[in-house]
Structure 1
Amino acid sequence: MIDQLTLTNFKAFQHAEIPLGPLTLLTGLNSSGKSTVIQALALLYQSYQAGFLKAPFVTDGSERRPLGGGGFLLNGELVGLGTGQDVLHEDFVGVELIVVAVAEGALHYTYGAEYEREQNLLPVTRIQVPATEEGPDRPAGQEGLYPEYFRARFQYLHADRITPAERYPRDHQAAIGRGFLGVRGEHAVNFLLYHARDEVPEGPLRHPGADSALLLDQTAAWMGELCPGVNIEAAPIEGTDTVRLSYGFGDALTATRRRRPTNVGFGLTYALPIVVACLTAQPGGLVLLENPEAHLHPQGQTKMAELGARAAAQGAQLIVETHSDHVLNGMRLAVKQGLLTPQQAVVHFFRSTNGSGVEVITPHIDVDGSLDQWPKGFFDELENTLVQLLD
């Protein structure tokens, strides 16, 4: 699990050390630096998956030879950040310009890249990894160069997710070969079709009201928290590389006919990839979520937070960007109900300071779900509005 992310000269941050927990909420006003945290972790993973996150040098006896070809891949499957000028902090300091570091307990991994204004592959200048018997300058491709989250199941779901449609892609390599749902959740339906009969492991994630422990039934039960009585079905469309999703309502005796996603509330389809990502998150795996509350009613937003807390309690790590006080309160309830300890639930509030800086405030959740501070701008709009209405 990633305990801390350190960013230097990267986008909104000149330098920041950001603690992370099993479940971390990133909150704050728009363009305050929340997305930068998620993008930094996705950038490292994207560069690794593409084969570019390589050590800049390898020691061969007494000779230190350049490997070449290593770099931060700014534009790829997960994130599209532009060129060097788009990711360099405007008041950069130091020589090694852009540094992203992660700490997993006592293990620290640091990746530094050189700034090149017009390039979208920024050359790696330094990789520092935990010492091993082979030494820190080993050739790229060996596991000690990379943090654990690179090797466990990784999901990143953007705020812009799949919408109700007649069909969804049937990409075997992505959904089945890699277990990747796609940044828009576009492979979630095919993943669900293929893994429908997999069991959700016993533990906090299992919904007690589901018909069985099978993934399809568990998904339907959690979707039922968003829309009571809903059930889902995924089926291949023969002769095409697509799959069909449909919804039904009611039990076997009262069930209505199947309905297309286009004839059902927008929020159900938008939430489906998040439910699947949480239910299939593995211990040690990382799930990055943007705005899980989108298109959901308040009760559904709170239930989404509960599902995320249960995935974290089962051993996965979730980092969630949100604008929803219902998601925050769902997380607080998870602590009060003992699903997570206060140390496992981390909340950060990002606030722009005068000039180009970012202040990161970290309210602490107590065992009773209360917060030890409520900084100005932190989910206080309801109170501000009520004051004006009652004035």
Structure 2
Amino acid sequence: MIERYKIHNFKIHGDTDLRLANLSILTGMNGMGKSSVIQSMLMLRESFLKGEFPQTVNLRGESFQIGQSSQLVNWNTVVEPHLLRISITQDSGCNFDFAYQYPLGDVTRLNQLPSAVSYSREDLEKCSLFSGYFQYLSAFRDGPQSVYQTDTAVVDDRKQLSFKMGRGEFAVYFLSRFGDENIPIPELNFNCDEIEDLSLRTQTEAWLTAISPDIRINIEQRSTEFFLKFGYRKEGTPMKWIDALNTGFGITYVLSVLVAVLFAPKGSLVLIENPEAHIHPAAQAALMKLISLAAEHGVQIILETHSDHVINGALVALKKGYLKETHLAVYYFDRNRDTMNAEAIPLAIGKNCRIKDAPQGFFDQMKMDLETLFGF
């Protein structure tokens, strides 16, 4: 598990030092560097998968698009202004420090410093960022589709839900392919008192009922194409199945998140942008229960969010004992007005499981609106 992640001279990040936990939540206003943290991780991982890492890093990949080197340099960096450095500290004690030279002109790959340490592939694979136990789901996740894609190389061989831009485009095929396998962490059972079936399909459907009550999933395969339908159970009547295109957008949008978390074994790294997108606050709370349980049982999850319901869901998990306080890290991202660099502010959690001394801008809009409405 990654305990510490440091970024020097990458986009808005002059020097950012994150102490990560089982569940790490990145929040803050737009354009403050949250997505850049995840982009930097994807950049390292895809460069590794292409076999050129750590000698070079590629600035263009399938899951991210950074562009050219001139778009990465932080022009406000004073110390080592021409270097990109990223350091990873793990709980296993196997640590990495990567350093690259920004060249003159616009290029799409950076070369490692001659003096930098070179790590073997075997060493790198000890880090969850470079292992096979990894999932990334972006804010570009696919909504309802008429037909769902298949890719045996991505799903069957690499067990990935996505290839292009973290869209989760293979979630339906993934669920069809591995739906009969048991989830690796039995403690994620939606209702252990009533549900004995630990298969991925049953558990995905069960957790989906917390998003949309009484919903059922049906996946049809016709040749190499897969079709997703939803149904709602009514006692005494036949089930009526409805195409995904004719159901709520959020139901399909959250499906890949459920599958990614439920299928992740202990030691996995899961990156999710905006898990709250298109789902009701009560559904966000239920989703955060699942995410918190997975984090407590050894899956490292990093979330980017703009939802106070996601934050509160994690705090409720602390209160109810689903998650230990030491297993949660919450960061509020702001911009230093002098340097214009990102500031990742770690938020303290009090004994009452509430955020202590929250900075200005941390989900205080409702308070300000109520003060206006009530004339305070």
TM-score of the aligned structures, taking structure 1 as reference length: 0.89
CA distance in 1, matches of 2:235, 2:374: 50
Matches within 5 A, 1:191-270: 191-208=174-191, 209-210=194-195, 212-238=197-223, 241-250=224-233, 253-270=236-253
SS of 1:303 mapped into structure 2: helix
Q: How many residues align?
A: 366
The 8 Å contact of residues 183 and 200 in structure 2, kept in 1 or not, is answered as: yes
Instruction: Please give the per-residue CA displacement for 1:336-371, whole angstroms capped at 9, x wherever unaligned.
Output: 111111110110000112141222211122453212
The residue number in structure 2 matching 1:26 is: 26
By how many angstroms is 1:14 displaced?
Answer: 1.0
Instruction: Please give the per-residue CA displacement for 1:240-288, whole angstroms capped at 9, x wherever unaligned.
Output: x321111111167445311101110000000000000000111111000
Matches within 5 A, 1:1-391: 1-54=1-54, 70-92=55-77, 93-94=79-80, 97-105=83-91, 106-116=93-103, 117-125=105-113, 137=118, 140-144=120-124, 147-182=127-162, 183-208=166-191, 209-210=194-195, 212-238=197-223, 241-250=224-233, 253-355=236-338, 356-391=340-375
CA distance in 2, matches of 1:304, 1:174: 26
By how many angstroms is 1:20 displaced?
Answer: 0.6
SS of 1:99 mapped into structure 2: strand
The 8 Å contact of residues 56 and 112 in structure 2, kept in 1 or not, is answered as: yes
CA distance in 2, matches of 1:72, 1:384: 45
By how many angstroms is 1:147 displaced?
Answer: 2.2
TM-score of the aligned structures, taking structure 2 as reference length: 0.93
Judging changes above 3 Å, is the alpha-carbon distance between structure 1 residues 354 and 150 closer, same or farther for their aligned structure 2 residues?
same
Judging changes above 3 Å, is the alpha-carbon distance between structure 1 residues 387 and 147 closer, same or farther for their aligned structure 2 residues?
same
SS of 2:15 mapped into structure 1: strand
SS of 1:339 mapped into structure 2: coil
The residue number in structure 2 matching 1:67 is: none
CA distance in 2, matches of 1:252, 1:186: 33
By how many angstroms is 1:145 displaced?
Answer: 7.2
Gaps of 5+ in 1: 55-69, 129-135
By how many angstroms is 1:166 displaced?
Answer: 1.1
The 8 Å contact of residues 335 and 367 in structure 1, kept in 2 or not, is answered as: no
**Alignment identity in percent?**
31
By how many angstroms is 1:141 displaced?
Answer: 3.0
Gaps of 5+ in 2: none
By how many angstroms is 1:202 displaced?
Answer: 4.9
The 8 Å contact of residues 25 and 320 in structure 1, kept in 2 or not, is answered as: yes
Q: CA RMSD in A?
A: 1.8
The 8 Å contact of residues 345 and 365 in structure 1, kept in 2 or not, is answered as: no
The residue number in structure 2 matching 1:60 is: none
